[in-house]
Structure 1
């Protein structure tokens, strides 16, 4: 498969589902090779050896009758690195690092295996909506296939050994991306999410650790893996996610009952701006698309053809330039972003006019 074709594809997690709150589910497994130091103390020669060993296995592996395609990140330009980060296929730290490293991707991006990130391997499965159990099943299948060919660092007393102590044990990080405009608008989000740290969960922004919660979107994940089984981690996260969803839906009901005109004004202003704006910054676009998504979820606005996640990702700086196949300065990006979104909104405008 041509690299350009692979990177231009919409990722599986961007598919629209019936879930009004949970955008995506992810499971990530941290694994290291037995005979090599962790990446942060690995010399360039050792890093090259790790990439060579792992990439060869990845090129030959097949999971659920699917092959993955290996890409060495040293072969990519800065925009291509951005595309991978913006689609959540690699971490920002891997995209910004140097040396021997890479990523293997399934054709629909549901599988992604990072090589020489914080650990030698980061096995990731990312699916749309609330699919934690299915995500874990697929990740386990890929992990089993890799472990059949690679000698992972494992101890009976500790489990899988990882560069960060919080990942020791199962090496599993499970997370959900949730869309919480109701809680933000009603000023309840800090109260609801602030309690999660006491439950052993971490809350981060759209692009993980250190990122901001643009577009009313948050990532919720487990913090510790040592001493917990994979089933315990997933069950706990799923239960807490259910409570978050309940709080968000109640907040939306509250807005509809107590502040209906304020709510309608917010979502219609967002739709109108998206349909007519000639310049849109990335941050403004995410915020407006979030309010627009809220409007369609509660039935105030007609739905648009292109999904919420798809529009957010396609209008990020890297993806926008990659789709248009040319470099853009900040002003040009704002202009092209607005143009792309206006086109996506055209179908909704036609629906309103016909009605």
Structure 2
């Protein structure tokens, strides 16, 4: 069993048709095992027994996992890599016995430890909300039969946070909204989102707090079914996408030269620079993803732009190229240049 996340295998490398706005769809479930108190009220022997039970059932049901991380014993580099790939289980890594298991190139993750016994994650590139929800639910039902999750009629899944009882589900998508961010439209979107029991918050922000990227995430699941949450997530993602595409259309009509200049400057930087910081790379990639048709780019390369948002972060580069911290800027420039001009991923080694 590996103890280090493989730099050449991850969920974001899956070959899917890119969505205009959604980079990632993520389903997270909070579950507790029947007959046990929450971990915060367990003594050390009980926690050890629970851990052994989960490990045994996982091995019997799924065989050996592709990846396993003991967070207490993991290096800062591995923890940074997990953060970059959206694999870190919330606050669970600070729990003394926190362990995570991953399958299917990290698309499926099961996390042990934290305020709830188990946290189940399913990650997928793109915005196929219905398809990914059905796939996640099949996996969750299989685990439920093997482990026996705590459930109460009229209440739902028992969780440490009552707000996430019921379905015990946190659905989310990572959105790319450059035109909405520039026009301030995303602030108006927040009100619509909040009325539906979701939140919209910026991520990957610059030092000035600006960002083109937002997490759309469920705020509570009590009193709501998984199907309802999936439907709401899909509806909101579609509505936000339509608003963003309309904002892009208006921007292109009224400020075409500015948009064209921004995209071509980004292309020039990414295909010519010999050293690139992440802070330089992110807005340039955002501009390119917003309108790739404005530059001469291979169609297959354009399809794979989304993976660069994860491939070019610091920990990934340090592991891929066996470099020390602080030496990744040259390899970042090399990787993005070869990808855009030659369609070759310099991080993937034979």
- TM range, normalised to the smaller chain? 0.7 to 0.9
| TM-score, L = length of structure 1 | 0.86
Match of 2:262 in 1: 266
Preserved CA contact (<8 Å) 1:22 1:178: yes
Relative distance call for 1:257 and 1:23 in structure 2 (3 A) is same
Preserved CA contact (<8 Å) 1:10 1:310: no
Match of 2:86 in 1: 88
Query: 1:242 pairs with 238, 245, 248, which one?
Result: 238
1:122 aligns with 2:119: yes
1:335 aligns with 2:330: yes
Q: Distance in 2 between matches of 1:155 and 1:243?
A: 34
Preserved CA contact (<8 Å) 2:4 2:68: no
**Superposed displacement of residue 43, structure 1:** 4.4
Q: Distance in 2 between matches of 1:42 and 1:205?
A: 36
Match of 2:280 in 1: 284
1:72 aligns with 2:67: no
1:146 aligns with 2:143: yes
Relative distance call for 1:281 and 1:207 in structure 2 (3 A) is closer
**Superposed displacement of residue 204, structure 1:** 2.9
- Superposed, 1:175-190 pairs within 5 Å as 175-190=172-187
Q: Distance in 1 between matches of 2:209 and 2:17?
A: 21
- Count of residue pairs the alignment pairs up: 339
Q: Deviations over 1:245-266 (max 9, x none)?
A: 1001101111111110000011
Relative distance call for 1:213 and 1:154 in structure 2 (3 A) is farther
Q: Distance in 1 between matches of 2:250 and 2:262?
A: 15
SS of alignment partner, residue 119 of structure 2: strand
After superposing the two structures, state which structure 1 stretch, 337-346 or 132-141, moved more. 337-346
**Superposed displacement of residue 18, structure 1:** 3.8
Preserved CA contact (<8 Å) 1:175 1:222: yes
Structure 1 unmatched ranges of 5 or more: 349-355
Query: 2:106 pairs with 94, 109, 125, which one?
Result: 109
Q: Distance in 2 between matches of 1:17 and 1:124?
A: 22
Relative distance call for 1:93 and 1:334 in structure 2 (3 A) is farther
Q: Deviations over 1:162-184 (max 9, x none)?
A: 11222111101111111111212
SS of alignment partner, residue 61 of structure 1: helix
SS of alignment partner, residue 316 of structure 2: helix
After superposing the two structures, state which structure 1 stretch, 136-145 or 166-175, moved more. 136-145
Preserved CA contact (<8 Å) 1:270 1:291: yes
SS of alignment partner, residue 204 of structure 1: strand
**Superposed displacement of residue 38, structure 1:** 2.4
Structure 2 unmatched ranges of 5 or more: 344-350
1:135 aligns with 2:132: yes
Match of 2:321 in 1: 324
Relative distance call for 1:327 and 1:94 in structure 2 (3 A) is farther
Q: Distance in 1 between matches of 2:90 and 2:71?
A: 13
Match of 2:17 in 1: 17
Q: Distance in 2 between matches of 1:254 and 1:134?
A: 32
| TM-score, L = length of structure 2 | 0.87
**Superposed displacement of residue 67, structure 1:** 6.1
**Superposed displacement of residue 194, structure 1:** 4.0
Query: 1:220 pairs with 188, 201, 216, which one?
Result: 216
Q: Distance in 2 between matches of 1:2 and 1:303?
A: 37
Match of 1:353 in 2: none
1:51 aligns with 2:51: yes
Match of 1:311 in 2: 308
Aligned structure 1 segments of 4 or more residues deviating by more than 6 angstroms: none
After superposing the two structures, state which structure 1 stretch, 333-342 or 27-36, moved more. 333-342
Q: Distance in 2 between matches of 1:321 and 1:92?
A: 24
**Superposed displacement of residue 238, structure 1:** 1.2
